[in-house]
Amino acid sequence: MIDLKRVRTFGLIAGGTLSFVAAIGMVESFNERTLINPGITMGLLLILGIAAVFGYIVAAGKPNPLVETARDSRSGGIAGGLTGAIAGVVTSLFVLFVDTFDVSEFFPNMREPLVEAMTFELGVPVGLLVLTAVVTATAAAGGAFHGMSDSFRAGMSRALGWVVAFALFELVVSEILDFADPLVDLIYAPRGGLQPWAAVIIGALAWWLSTRYKGRGEAFTERVKDSEAGSRLRRSVILFGVAAVIILPMIVGGVVNELLITSGLFILMGLGLNIVVGLAGLLDLGYVAFFAVGAYGTAILTSPSSPAFAPGLSWWIALPIVMVLAAIAGLFVGTPVIRMRGDYLAIVTLGFGEIVRILLLSDWLTPIFGGAQGITRIPGIPVPGAGTISGTDPQLFIYFTFMFVLLAAYISYRAQNSRIGRSWAAMREDEDVAEAIGISTVQAKLLAFVTGAVIASFAGALFSAKVGTVFTNSFDVLVSIIILVVVIVGGMGSIRGVVVGALVLIGILGGPKSPGLLAEFSEFKLLIYGALLVYMMLKRPEGLLPSVRRSRELHGEDLTQDAWLDKGGDFTGDSAEEEATT
């Protein structure tokens, strides 16, 4: 038997989700990108993906909608198909409403192009029938997929993942294989998208590799857990990363290099904020102010167009001065908020970031910082034998960016494993207990703010040298929020997590003012940021690549909070502690 109530609930949710992504113009916009030529676009993949996910959820849910067995693919397929049928009907009614009534004055995206996109340009009657059939069939496949064997699911997931990855990252693959143009022409169609036979070969190869090397991932994890082998592997990963940073800019084009530079700047800021939020547990929503101190400080000290004070210093001479200014700014922020915690601390730091931005725009400080006109003609980074390096030479500039990323990662690593790092960890877990055992929380907080501010000043100095101009609109509160999202998604307290978070969010989706590798997501990236943040907080609060210590803390807290459920409501402190230890 099938839980029809659950099927109905998730069918309505799936239909609402499909209608929502269509109403905001996501399907229409994504249809402009072809993944497999001909016919399969990113918009179609979005529709199929939503239907398949809800079909899988219904078959895999708790309480189990399948009374007999959750592994019965036939029952799972029926449950998913019913869910898809309801979703298809709801979505079709929405499209029919848009086609019948003109509401574009209030909802600009709900117009004729939406109807054409959702009906596959087949006309409303036929298109809606096809839409319902496609959603039903895909949801049924998603439900049946849950009942398949683990090896089949793993192979199919990897095959689909690799095919989609090759289709989405066509620009990167084409530039890496630039030396073999005939091979690129065989893989990709002239107007974009994978050739059908190439998609089949990539999927089959990914499936074969997943079967051939089954279990190697678990063995690798066990080796990492071993201290001696794990240390060797970490060194190997670091060396591989350094080699990739050296080689990759030489074989990819300027667009990818620009994305790598932007990602590198956000990695720098993420590493600095990770010290404040991830290690010390201080929620800072005004972190962009330190970035602005680094950028404007470098601009004033190096640019001949600085309004009031133009010493025309070299970038290398200006950098230590900017670091001192950032450290002073860190003390300036940290001192008033020493006794604040949680939400109060977040509000005060948010206010500080906005105060800095408004002061930079004010008439009072316009003679110094240029106001809305900003500061222009900022020189690049002078390098003996290579001239001046700026954003016009991204291949060389990326080396400087990642040189400072390595420096910031080294500072974070050494601080995390030092005495002050242990003080930060204790303060993050319980500030009162940290004070009781003799830790100076005042000193620890100030050091966290100062260290984070100095690392942010690196990013600001590099940013001003790259762009050549600085304006206040580059330092709004949205930048602080996105940096925080990078840290949370990657993993608070984790250096590698910050790197992965920045590459995924900034490199692929794009930064606050710049598009990412997938330009189609630019219009919707804030929506995706928000959805991803909610999902991470609910399902994986430790992040994609969490710190071991932070992961243990979070899971220990979960065990402590849920211990009374396992004890049948008889909750005591001793039982919670015992559960957390277990």
Number of Cβ within 10 Å of residue 6's Cβ equals: 17
Residue 381: in which H helix or E strand, if any? strand 381-383
Q: Is 416 exposed, middle or buried (0-12, 13-18, 19+ CB in 10 A)?
A: buried
Angle (deg, nearest 10), helices 196-212 and 150-168: 140
What are the phi and psi torsion angles at 36 (to 5°)?
-125, 120
Task: Identify the pLDDT of residue 39.
Answer: 80
- Asked if 5 and 86 count as a contact pair (C-beta separation under 8 A), the reply is no
Query: What's CA 339's distance to the chain center, in Å?
Result: 32
Q: Is 43 exposed, middle or buried (0-12, 13-18, 19+ CB in 10 A)?
A: buried
As averages over each run of 10 residues, the pLDDT of the chain (582 residues) reads: 85 95 92 88 94 91 44 79 95 94 87 91 92 96 88 89 92 83 86 90 90 66 54 71 81 83 93 92 90 94 88 92 94 85 86 89 89 90 83 85 92 89 88 88 92 94 93 89 91 89 89 82 86 86 78 57 43 39 38
Task: Identify the pLDDT of residue 552.
Answer: 67
Task: Identify the pLDDT of residue 519.
Answer: 82
- Three-state SS sequence of 316-379: HHHHHHHHHHHHHHHHHHHCCCCCCCHHHHHHHHHHHHHHHHHHHHCCCCHHHHCHHHCECCCC
What are the phi and psi torsion angles at 302 (to 5°)?
-110, -25
pTM: 0.86
For residues 363 and 373, what is the distance between their CA atoms, to the nearest angstrom?
Answer: 12
Task: Identify the pLDDT of residue 571.
Answer: 37
Task: Identify the pLDDT of residue 551.
Answer: 66
Looking up tokens 């989700």 gives: 17
Domain boundaries, the chain: 1-148, 150-225, 276-475
